[in-house]
Amino acid sequence: MPRHYWLVKQEPEAYSWSAFVQDGRTAWTGVRNFQARNNLRAMKTGDLAFYYHSVTDKKIVGVARVEREAYPDATAMEGDWSCVDLVPVKPLKTPVSLEQIKLDPLLQSMPLVKQSRLSVTPLTVEQVDRLLFLSGTRSI
Q: What is the C-alpha separation between 40 and 34, in angstroms, rounded?
A: 10
For 22, residues 6+ apart whose C-beta sits below 8 A from its C-beta are none
Q: What is the C-alpha separation between 51 and 45, in angstroms, rounded?
A: 17
The pTM for the full model equals: 0.95
Q: Does any domain span residue 140? A: no
Backbone angles phi, psi at 117, to 5 degrees: -90, -10
Q: Is the pLDDT of residue 1 over 70?
A: no
Q: Does any domain span residue 17? A: yes
Which residues constitute the domain of residue 66? 5-135
Are residues 109 and 7 in contact, defined by beta-carbon separation less than 8 angstroms?
no
Taking only the tens place, the pLDDT of each residue in 96-117 is 999 999 999 999 999 999 998 8
Q: Does any domain span residue 88? A: yes
Taking only the tens place, the pLDDT of each residue in 18-34 is 999 999 999 999 999 99
Q: What is the C-alpha separation between 132 and 24, in angstroms, rounded?
A: 22
Q: What is the 3-state secondary structure (H, E, C) of 46-63?
A: CCEEEEEECCCCCEEEEE
pLDDT > 70 in the chain, percent: 99
Q: Does any domain span residue 90? A: yes
The total number of structural domains in the chain stands at 1
Q: Does any domain span residue 83? A: yes
Q: Does any domain span residue 120? A: yes
Domain harbouring 42, CATH code: 3.10.590.10
Q: Does any domain span residue 67? A: yes
Q: What is the C-alpha separation between 119 and 102, in angstroms, rounded?
A: 17
Q: What is the C-alpha separation between 23 and 20, in angstroms, rounded?
A: 5
